Structure 1
Amino acid sequence: MITVLLITIVLLAIGFTGFAITILIKKNGKFPELHIGKNEDLKKRGIGCATSQDKTEQSKAKKSLQFKQLTLLEKELKSL
């Protein structure tokens, strides 16, 4: 059990070290951009962030609704 844990820790340390070295060696080394909205290839294909697309669609739906939501007081006043 302990040997498996030690092997796992060593492999993770090697992986993190390799990742850090590649960032340091690269020109303008940065962490890779993981946000979908900033990926140019996905933008060309029309794929965007699900959260952003949801907000856009909900705002379109709100604009398309052309009715007034009446409060209970306004309904009572109209019925008089």
Structure 2
Amino acid sequence: MKIFLLSLLLVGVAVALLAVRLFFGRNFVNMHTDSNPALRKKGIPCARTQDAQARKRRPLQR
């Protein structure tokens, strides 16, 4: 029982520290290709942009 409580305490402390870093740390890295200057320079758009452009050229048919 002691080992279970000790491991539960350890996991709780780890979760608390991760939460502190999440809420008070730096921002998450933006993974969208539209905000990446190197990819924008190469002309690589994000999937949403490509999808929107494709739908403008040829609307969905039913």
- The two structures have a TM-score, normalised by structure 2, of 0.50
For these two proteins, the number of residue pairs brought into alignment is: 54
Q: Say if 1:42 and 1:48, in contact at 8 Å, map to a contact too.
A: yes
Q: Which runs of 5+ in 2 are unaligned?
A: none
Q: Percent same amino acid at aligned positions? A: 24
Q: Distance in 2 between matches of 1:17 and 1:51?
A: 33
Q: Higher relative CO (CA 8 A, sep ≥ 6), structure 1 or 2?
A: 2
The higher radius of gyration belongs to 1
- The two structures have a TM-score, normalised by structure 1, of 0.43
Q: CA RMSD in A?
A: 2.7
Hey, what does 2:15 align to over in structure 1?
12
Structure 1: 4+ residue segments shifted above 4 A: none
C-alpha spacing 1:5/1:40, structure 2 compared with 1 (3 Å): farther
Once the two structures are TM-superposed, the CA of residue 56 in structure 1 deviates from its matched residue by 0.9
